[in-house]
Structure 1
Amino acid sequence: MEIQNKLPNYYILKRSLAGLIDYIIYFSLFYVSCLLFGEKLPEGGYTGNHLLFFFFGIWILTMVVTEIVFQSTIGNLIFGLKAVHKSGKKMDFWQPLLRHCFDLIDMWPLGLVGILTIKFTKENQRLGDIIAETIVIERNKN
């Protein structure tokens, strides 16, 4: 059974703001980690190159694990959205991972790719959703 994804006009704004919140959280954690554990550069500032695996772990935790546990990232929780398989079932581990691997493409330039694919696909999907076979719906549905 397919879910009918008829959403209000403000849906794209909600998804955009939710994604912005998610990446503000991620980059804030990234910045604080660089300050605490990064190497101080001679010309000023810090580098976190030696922390790349740590940053990948933070990304997995903030994007993938929260979607597995809550069906939402923190931003989506705030805006009352959740990601599900196109059939309406809960996602497995690989679907959130796959859908967020395409965040950089969806957010380039200034989110235009994601906005256009959400606006012009039948099920309001961004590229990551299409590839992972997921949709984002209001939390009060299914």
Structure 2
Amino acid sequence: MPKYFLIKRITAGLIDYTIWFGLFWSSLSLFGEKTGVRTYEFDYGWIFFIGLWIIVMIIPETLFQSTIGNLLLKLKVVNENGGKIKFSQSLLRHCADMIDMWPLGLVGILTIKYSKKHQRLGDMIGKTIVIERN
């Protein structure tokens, strides 16, 4: 696996989660109730948190085979047969994001680097592969 491919995957993930956290914190500060210095309370915030995650990560990936980060770096997610992924595959793949990102992305980096199909744990669970767009 070329080194640039791993760097592209890491960068795409950073872009995606920067967008997600940015939107979440912006929404929290706009719609949440300020309870202290840099602390906010948001009724049903966890539902919004998960909903925003689905809107930013899973829906674009299901519809366009890419998150925003993957699209910018010319990567796409396919199923192990090379076809378009399903919503459930994207959901499974992203449910493992927190494990793949621990610690500082080391789990994901090592599994991408050393797995046969260059998959992170989330890809293995979702039975997906990330490839470069033509």
TM bucket, shorter chain: over 0.9
23, 38, 44: which is aligned to 2:37? 44
- Distance in 2, matches of 1:44 and 1:120, equals 44
- Distance in 2, matches of 1:103 and 1:131, equals 11
Aligned: 1:132 with 2:132: no
**SS of 1:137 mapped into structure 2:** strand
**SS of 1:83 mapped into structure 2:** strand
| TM-score, normalising length: structure 1 | 0.90
Give the match for residue 96 of structure 1. Answer: 90
Give the match for residue 3 of structure 1. Answer: none
- Distance in 1, matches of 2:120 and 2:75, equals 14
Q: Where in structure 2 are the equivalents of 1:39-118 lying within 5 Å? A: 39-41=33-35, 43-45=36-38, 46-48=40-42, 50-118=44-112
22, 33, 42: which is aligned to 1:28? 22
- Distance in 1, matches of 2:117 and 2:13, equals 18
* Over 2 Å off, 4+ runs: 47-50
Q: CA deviation at 1:8?
A: 2.5
**SS of 1:110 mapped into structure 2:** coil
What percentage of residue pairs aligned between the two structures are identical?
Answer: 59
- Greater Cα offset, 123-132 or 50-59: 50-59
| TM-score, normalising length: structure 2 | 0.95
Structure 1 or 2: larger helix share?
2
1:81-138 Cα shifts (integer Å, max 9, x gaps) = 0000010010011000000000000000000000000000010000000011100000
**SS of 1:10 mapped into structure 2:** helix
List gaps (5 residues or longer) in structure 2.
none
Root-mean-square deviation (CA), in Å? 1.0
Give the match for residue 4 of structure 1. Answer: none
List gaps (5 residues or longer) in structure 1.
1-6
**Equivalent residue pairs, number:** 133
